[in-house]
Amino acid sequence: MARILVIDDNDTMREGMTVTLKKAGHEVFAFRSGVEGVAAFKKGGADLVVTDLKMDALDGIEVVKQLKAHEPGVVAMVVTAFGTIETAVEAMRQGAFDFITKPFPPDVLRAKVDGALQLSRLGAQLFRERARTEALTKDSADKVGKTVVGDSEPIQKLLAQVKRAAATDATVLVNGESGTGKELVARMLHDLSPRSAGPFIVTHCAALAETLLESELFGHERGAFTGAVKKKLGRIELADGGTLFLDEIGEISPAVQTKLLRVLQEKEIQRVGGEETVKVDVRVVCATHRDLKAEVAAGRFREDLYYRLHVVPLTLPPLRERPEDISQLARHFVGKHAARINPKVKALGSDAVAALARYAWPGNVRELENAIEQSLVFAEGTELGEKDLPSFLQGPAARAAQTQGALPVPHGDRPLPDILEDLERQLIERAYEKAKGVKTETARLLGIKTSALYYKLEKYGFIQKGESPPSEA
């Protein structure tokens, strides 16, 4: 079934085409004038527009022009009398797909419409592939070398579970604290699966408001809401044939939970503002740092959705539970970032390894990677040593804690945003000292604008409030 707009100012002709096309199983909307027809198309779109050529106010050629200006991929067909074929050819130059000459029997109209709809479906397929390619370019990183690093027993056990789960199409729920690498596990599940040639589409649920998340996941039709100027395919539809990764699934609203349950049960979606259901073949992987079972008990998460998601649960251990992996991870991050940040650095010193091992890493692998990147900025030799590490990893206090057999947790009871802010302050302080207080040089070392640097220096008390940055080109 297709959505077809029929535009003709002749009542008999308009009603005849409408009846014929409805009998063929299509959804037909008829309009007496070109102005009405174009307005309806701009509001709700169509798979095909059939328009008369000779009409008052807005003729068929102008209708085609306006439709093409609004949506270049629209498929339009003009209806013309025998004596105006030259004008119909002009309509095709303006973008009409075909024309049909009056009078015509119903079977000729049906045949012409079938041909036009084949082109419309091909255009929709090309649009889908283009949108999918754009989404993949935006959301998917290079898959080479993307794997969880570590030889500890918890990690090796996890990797074995990932390999087994990847071979199936079962829904996977990845649990773990922030910064443990849940998205990396999701990518591995995709890369090792029979769907690896298909798309891997990521959605960070906590980053979007409910209304935006619904449109982002399910897509929307043109005119579905203010600002919806064209049809948009949702991420579920773009993931067709591949894997959809939903990060922080515990943050979605009850309304979105209900819609997602339908996707898992029926393998179909309905775009926002649309009536048509679209079948999808998607493998869903979710991640959360919340205890979803507790969320169900508190009435904040649907129990039926929880069991749909909890088919294969995987748990990423925090870094403090696999301290033997710290040195391997640190060397991995040196290799990953040194070429970009500081190509002179080729190795990680034993004193740095010992210092890294003394810390409890409440921010997990993400915090460790951040610390290595920060250290690379200031390292002056070919080996990254303890003196290059952030200040909270250096000094007698840290060594004393190691001697006493305790893991120091200088930031251990603080939330991750506070930890990262503290790291930022230390990074700025070291750059400011290295640049001997020259703000333009400090900004260059940090890779930020001077105006942004002044804001940070004021924020952390390095300069007095009110100092103005120099104007930037």
| pLDDT tens-place string over residues 253-292 | 999 999 999 999 999 999 988 888 899 999 999 999 989 9
* CA 188 to chain centroid: 17
Q: 3-state SS of the chain? A: CCEEEEECCCHHHHHHHHHHHHHCCCEEEEECCHHHHHHHHHHHCCCEEEEECCCCCCCHHHHHHHHHHHCCCCCEEEEECHHHHHHHHHHHHCCCCEEEECCCCHHHHHHHHHHHHHHHHHHHHHHHHHHHHHHHHHHCCCCCCCCCCCCCHHHHHHHHHHHHHHCCCCCEEEECCCCCCHHHHHHHHHHCCCCCCCCEEEEEHHHCCHHHHHHHHHCECCCCCCCCCCCECCHHHHCCCCEEEEECHHHCCHHHHHHHHHHHHHCEEECECCCCEEECCCEEEEEECCCHHHHHHCCCCCHHHHHHHCCEEEECCCHHHCHHHHHHHHHHHHHHHHHHHCCCCCEECHHHHHHHHCCCCCCHHHHHHHHHHHHHHHCCCCEECHHHCCHHHCHHHHHHHHHCCCCCCCCCCCCHHHHHHHHHHHHHHHHHHHCCCCHHHHHHHHCCCHHHHHHHHHHCCCCCCCCCCCCCC
Q: Which of 24-33, 72-81, 95-104, 407-416 has the lowest mean pLDDT?
A: 407-416
**pLDDT at 102 (0 to 100):** 82
Contact of 67 with 49, CB cutoff 8 Å:
yes
What are the boundaries of each domain within the chain?
3-123, 158-316, 320-416
**pLDDT at 128 (0 to 100):** 52
Calculate what percentage of the chain has a pLDDT beyond 90. 50
Mean pLDDT (the chain) is 84
Q: Report the distance separating Cα 428 and Cα 404, nearest Å.
A: 32
CATH number of 158-316: 3.40.50.300
Fold of 320-416: Helicase, Ruva Protein; domain 3 (1.10.8)
Longest alpha-carbon distance in the chain:
100
The pLDDT confidence band at residue 323, using thresholds 50, 70 and 90, is: very high
pTM for this prediction: 0.58
The pLDDT confidence band at residue 130, using thresholds 50, 70 and 90, is: low
Q: Name the one residue in this structure whose structure tokens are 């008999």.
A: 12
What does each C-alpha distance from 234 to 237, 259, 458 come to in angstroms? Answer: 5, 13, 42
Work out the end-to-end distance of the chain between its first and last CA atoms, rounded to an integer number of angstroms.
Answer: 57
CATH number of 3-123: 3.40.50.2300
Length of the chain: 473
pLDDT at 242 > cutoff 90: yes
Contact of 270 with 278, CB cutoff 8 Å:
yes
Q: Report the distance separating Cα 426 and Cα 47, nearest Å.
A: 58
Phi, psi of 334 (to 5 degrees): -60, -50
Same fold yes or no, 3-123 and 320-416: no
Amino acid at 440: T
Structure-model confidence comparison of residues 415 and 46, the more confident one: 46
Q: Which of 101-115, 154-168, 326-340 has the lowest mean pLDDT?
A: 101-115
- Bridge pairing between strands 347-348 and 383-384: parallel
Q: Which of 130-134, 161-165, 367-371, 467-471 has the lowest mean pLDDT?
A: 130-134
Q: Report the distance separating Cα 1 and Cα 323, nearest Å.
A: 60
Q: Report the distance separating Cα 313 and Cα 358, nearest Å.
A: 31
Q: Which of 148-162, 176-190, 314-328, 453-467 has the lowest mean pLDDT?
A: 453-467
**pLDDT at 387 (0 to 100):** 92
